[in-house]
Structure 1
């Protein structure tokens, strides 16, 4: 399901989880207590609890996850059969602590329906402390910024029908079951819909990294390989597809673009050319090689992480780290950008001797071009899991960005 398509859906029949009891039935003391402002410490505690609920050590590709998905499906099936959850109206946009507003009753009932909020005796229209905690938990489960207020992305996720979520659980169970038996003891998983990376060893997640993956029209391919080499302070050789799609356009918009980005042009004999020697009104540029010098502006940042594949993709650092803070991190041309890449590279090079985080950081800082072959190449999987569940019974969902769920796709050629 896509956000642009969702807006066209007709509302579902409401499935009230609790009797509708308005704020008028609450005592004055109760209302005053519920609508007080939370302190910063209380908000932070709610966010920490939300994040802790999803931060367990079992890998997304594991028998544990498969068992947890079985249990989640068993809970969703009878609920969906009864009609699922009701819609949350747009009146909840921007709602915050300490106010009562139309739509909060439906918001609370929605959060109760998905077990983000504990059961209560009555549901009123006050956005209170428990509502804040429940909404933050919901946001964490859906990979959204944990803010405690209903923004556009949160409202969309709240209104995806329960039936659609059940379909996600079923197709992703089959994907996990297919992959779980094939994994090595030590491996890396790039989960594309979630735009995050799991580093796994001995059946447990050692660390997770936020990632930026391929946009819808330039998807990250699904594959299995091994990380075999680390390039420190790399050159970036611009792919022909990016020259054709992007670079020519950028040069027409800004004739100084190549100079500003420290990208140089070479012909087939290795002779360097100047930008003015190329006709940017044509496709002439695709006949030349474009190479960006190492440095902080380099599109791969301080490090490139290589694995054999027919798609010419790789993992890498990035100078645009602000993208790691976005809800939807689908910006690349197929490669994968890695947050906290210094720690990631150190883990990959564990068997190469003295390559702790400090040594990796020093290699970044020197600016020296250096290639290091990984002594024990690490298994890598890029995959597509848009729904999973953990040992806490917490179910996580992500948007079906490449529409593989919609197509019912379970296995992928690698």
Structure 2
């Protein structure tokens, strides 16, 4: 995607006290930095290698938001990737896609403001229910399909990192919308059939063509959706491989996935056919999002799917993921300490990188697949420097519900 200058993105009008603007100018801060005064920063919700996620309150709108603070050093001179992504995110206006709010910058940091989702991650929400049936699964998949349909057919965007961790509920309301988050490695295609060759994604969810480097496009999102559908119906991944080469060998089977009798005996044949349409190895033969929206499993009267409770099987597998999250909290404060050390003296504001005082989300598993490419003995580009830019921005709040829900309105004058 061609470089877009920060001025063409047109962030909201810079506000703030004239004296503060003057001080910022003397300090060499960009004009947009004055907008930082429009937010009351709360607790640290998560931390990654090059940034943290903070809860905040927009003073003007009174909206609770999530702010990702990223060191510019993460881009190593390729800041255009940041501005390109902002331009992309501002185009996304859909009920099932996380809302972008604003951005600003200091000399050494980028600040990204997004919608704050407090309804929980997809799997958390499933486990909390007293019952989960195939009918519930269809409702989830329809919302994901609607989001992908909007990206593919309205905006010509391929997401490239669809996975359960990036699917969040906006509120705790039982009828809350499910939203797709994390556009760190999304790409806007110049043509509907443009082929991408830069490899990026999350192992276990990315399509085979992404890993082989032969070129990929919109069909890679369909593969990821197929993996998600399989996983929410049985509680485990359709693939067991833990490295790229083993995965590529595993999917050479026809079909590439197995529906184990014990775990799938209560799930309809329609669901299995839907999954196989999405998990077709040949991307040219793989179903499109439009075709899947018209699949019989989606369009049928799925009251018939509301009989068998799938939750007991799901809980067995999802409990393991919970344990991983608990372990990750031990690493967070060390990350924040390193972030403070990376700050320059000219832009040192250590209140940005506050230490975590309770449970928090871990790093996302989305990654630049340069290490994967090395394992395949092939070259890879470095164009995905922003691969983790929007990781955890909204998801962080979902795993910190206690802090979010106990947030108190600051007293006047504070």
* Pairwise TM-score range, normalised by the shorter structure: under 0.3
Larger strand percent? 1
TM-score (norm 1): 0.24
TM-score (norm 2): 0.24
Larger helix percent? 2
State the structure with more CA Rg: 1
